[in-house]
Amino acid sequence: MRILSIETSCDDTGVAILEIKSGKFHVLANELSSQVKLHAKYGGVYPSLAKREHIKNLPVVLRHVLAKAKLAKQEKPVDAIALTVGPGLDPCLWTGINFAKELAKKWDVPIIPVNHLEGHMLISLLMAENKKVKPAFPAIALIVSGGHTQLVLVKKIGSYKIIGETRDDAAGECFDKTARILGLPYPGGPAVARAAGGALTGKPAFSIKLPRPMIHTKDYDFSFSGLKTAVLYDFQSRTVKVQKSKEYIRTMAKEIQQAIIDVFLLKTLRAVDEYDAKAIVLGGGVAANEELRKQFQKKMKILVAPKELCTDNGLMIALAGYFRWRKKKYTKNVDHISAEPNLRIE
């Protein structure tokens, strides 16, 4: 069977076509139209701007994908449409939903509503960069994106329990907000990672110690807004010359990244222990962080998608859609589908 997917939950327009033959996945096309440059001007995502861009980009990306998969001339190019219905920004989700409804009617195919976070998790589980690491259950998934930070017990594909989550900011949001304080561009995660660079040479000119919020609490919850505030206070206590110096920005970027990694490592490994998990899955945009991947890999074999598939993309929605399809979680009654900005993975 063939599935076309549509992802518009935030600022990336993602469309993919996945073919599944005898249980094997063949990616026929996976295209993305990123709005990063547009939103970088404002230092964050503006939902109304993002919506306008999705409306503009969707038909273009669809055309590319159909052409790439050599399906442009077919009357019914796919058997179903996998569609992100949440969580995400309401106006953005709706653009994808309205577009998918039109297509579903035109091609006379059902829609498979998909949870964006399940997509992030499944693409790392099923398309891990290290092919030698195989999925095993139960697994502990750390889903870390711009809007979410969750530790999920994965009993098997389709059976999840959130065991912990952030009480305030998501990890990606913390990267984005602290980058902004330091004058680094949006999105903040890659910018902080770049600024952190290689090893500090010689004795660091600054000693910065940020808190590791909630690292020792017995639960699996997180909190990152205090970390952001600590960065702000340290920044404000420095002279303008220091604030702008490479050495300060580098030391601070390194410390921000390490504070986040320390909390993730400790809590995830504790969950692995408690639930006797056989694998760790890292999913979501923050899982593209090289240092995070390295430090996890030192502790345990992890399932994590190649970096470009950790950030939002259409393929992850097609994959999640396929597993929903197998459970008959699709509908031809497409008019009833609506956005669920706060959809949960359970």
Interface residue list for ligand KG4 (CB under 6 A): 10, 120, 145-147, 172, 175-176, 187-190, 193, 284-286, 288-289, 311-312
Q: Using DSSP, state whether 226 is helix, strand or coil.
A: helix
Find the part of the chain contacting Zn ion (CB under 5 A) among 39-47, 62-70, 94-102, 138-146: 138-146
Tokens of 92: 């953005």
| Residue 84 or 251 with smaller CB distance to Zn ion | 84
- Least distance to ligand KG4, CB of residue 278, Å: 25
- Please report the sign of the dihedral spanned by the C-alpha atoms of residue 38, residue 228, residue 165, residue 144: positive
Among 84, 145, 166, 257, binds Zn ion (CB under 5 A): 145
Give the burial string for 316-341 (b: 16+ CB within 10 Å, else e).
bbbbbbbbbbeeeebeeebeebebbb
Looking at residue 286, the DSSP 8-state letter turns out to be G
- The amino acid present at 109, given as its one-letter code, is V
When asked if residue 176 is in the footprint of Zn ion (CB under 5 A), the reply is: no
- Least distance to ligand KG4, CB of residue 170, Å: 7
| Residue 211 or 306 with smaller CB distance to Zn ion | 306
- Least distance to ligand KG4, CB of residue 257, Å: 7
Q: Which of 168, 185, 169, 178 is nearest to 232 (CA)?
A: 178
| Residue 252 or 282 with smaller CB distance to Zn ion | 282
When asked if residue 12 is in the footprint of Zn ion (CB under 5 A), the reply is: no
Q: Do 25 and 18 contact (CB within 8 A), yes or no?
A: yes
Among 7, 312, 318, 339, binds Zn ion (CB under 5 A): 312
Looking at residue 73, the DSSP 8-state letter turns out to be T
| Residue 2 or 39 with smaller CB distance to ligand KG4 | 39
Q: Residue 76 and residue 83: Cα distance in Å, rounded?
A: 17
Pattern of binders to Zn ion over 96-135, x per CB under 5 A?
A: ----------------------------------------
Q: Using DSSP, state whether 208 is helix, strand or coil.
A: coil
